[in-house]
Amino acid sequence: MTDLAAVLFDMDGTLVESESMWHEAEIRTMEHFGCSWTEADRDISVGGPFERVVEYMSDKIGNDPGHVAREMVTEIETMMATRKLPIQPGVVELYRQVVAADIPTALVSNSWRVLMNLVLESVDLRFDVTIAGDEVSVPKPDPRPYVKACEMLNVSPVDCVVLEDSNTGVASATAAGCAVVAVPGVNTIESAPRRLVVSSLVEVDLADLRMLVDS
């Protein structure tokens, strides 16, 4: 039986319910430039990375990406610094099971470090490794963020489980060679080998994670 070497958590939408905050920041940014932001636009942008979303927005607006990015950064940083960030259902219970079993953990996000630090300050959870989107050469959906986390933990990706909520993150984790527990938010995520799709992490325990890496 394969041992579970580490559990790697995504942040936005998986660890904390921040996707609605991102959506609000996108709406406000577009309104600042006199444009609208639809549910279809949200579906395209969920999971990032930030640069892709800004490029998409600037194309719709017809404005400089740098200008759009600065407005978006101001909006999301203000929200995360001044609002409560609810932890997603089942996260704390699963995290405690993993830590009690002395299994290493990582937090891996496309959000930049200043936002990750704001989240870490608001939750009572600590990770052995944290990797922000501005600390890798290429963000998700590229596998590099999860590959880097595994390297820092000195574990093989094939023996790890990633917890994700978007197709962008699932693609990154799968390409890295990790097993995945997907909790779809906005996106539809299909089941696949070494991928468990659930409606909430309440449905998942440590035994499920161990079975997933052994499948």
Higher pLDDT, 116 or 52: 116
Helices 65-82, 50-61: crossing angle, 10 deg rounding? 120
* pLDDT score, position 158: 97
**pLDDT (tens digit per residue) in 104-160:** 999 999 998 999 999 999 898 999 999 999 999 999 999 999 999 999 999 999 999
Residues 145 and 47 sit within 8 Å (Cβ to Cβ): no
Residues 156 and 149 sit within 8 Å (Cβ to Cβ): no
Rounded-to-integer distance, Cα 140 and Cα 7, Å: 17
Handedness of CA 10, 189, 155, 94 (dihedral sign): positive
Confidence of residue 54 (pLDDT cuts 50, 70, 90): confident
> What is the Cα Rg of the chain in Å?
17
pLDDT at residue 40 tops 70: yes
Quick one: what percent of the chain has pLDDT higher than 90? Answer: 71
Rounded-to-integer distance, Cα 194 and Cα 8, Å: 15
* pLDDT score, position 1: 55
**pLDDT (tens digit per residue) in 64-109:** 888 888 898 889 889 888 888 899 999 999 999 999 999 999 999 9
pLDDT-wise least confident of 38-42, 152-156, 179-183: 38-42
